A = this chain, B = another copy of it.
Amino acid sequence: MSGATPKSDRTRAHVREVAIRMLRDVGYERTTMRGIAEAAGVSTGNAYYHFASKDALVQELYLEVQHEHAALAAPVLAAGGTLTDRLRGVWHAGVDAFEPFHAFGAGFLSVAIRPGSDASPFSAASGPAREASRALFEEVVAGAEPAVPSRLRAELPELLWLAQLGVTLFWVHDTSPGRARTRRLVEQGAALVGHVVRLSRLPVARGVVDDALRLVRAVHPERPGPEPDEATARRLPESPATEEGTA
């Protein structure tokens, strides 16, 4: 990227835009770097100069969709509201943002879900898009009124992001008009999450909340271990640190 000039930046942006449109309109299998270069009016070598592979352009598509999701979710996140309101709004915004890519998603799911795939939402390559998506759910939780109980605040965004993956998996398979089934799922899902979080305030629900937190930790994909300080900060006083000893 050294030596980038305004002209080079414009070429990069143009190739990126053409690639996203092509992936969206003709699908992953039928999109090639050569086809992208031709449609963008640049040499194949030039396209490769800006993007190492078709898969790198899929990551650009991911980022574009996340950008759109964030834009559509912004009014919801600025408006305050309960956890349920905010989550419902952000999930609906996601269905709206993803919609142009439904056919792409139906074809691409096979690639993205292959174990070890760079296109997996858990891969290192998907890090930037993943962080953009997670940030939305951080905001959902941080701005909720009434406030989410402190013992849930650290883990809930991660859980909601995992739920977003579930919603996306459901959406890819949803052929109902207007994605009506996905709309119902996010309505009911947001109501359930809000209800569970309200219930978690009661002492009687303490054990269930602890179980749920342990489950989230158990399912979390391996990732570079946090620094000791960070690990301590994430382990709130109320949550017993027994999750390692259960298997």
Contacts and interface: CB of A to CB of B under 8 A. Distances in A.
Given A110-B110, A204-B204, 9 more contacts: A106-B115, A109-B114, A110-B114, A115-B172, A185-B215, A188-B218, A191-B214, A192-B215, A205-B205
A48 interface: no
Interface string A214-227: 11001100100000
A247 B111 CA distance: 31
Given A204-B202, A211-B188, A183 B110 contact: no
Contacts of A205: 199, 205
A113 interface: yes
Contacts of A204: 199, 202, 204
B175 A219 contact: no
Question: Copies per complex?
Answer: 2
User: Which residue, A110, A181, A188, A246, has most C-beta atoms of chain B within 10 A?
Assistant: A188
A114 B114 CA distance: 11
B115 A218 contact: no
Nearest to A170: B219
A103 to B, nearest CB: 10
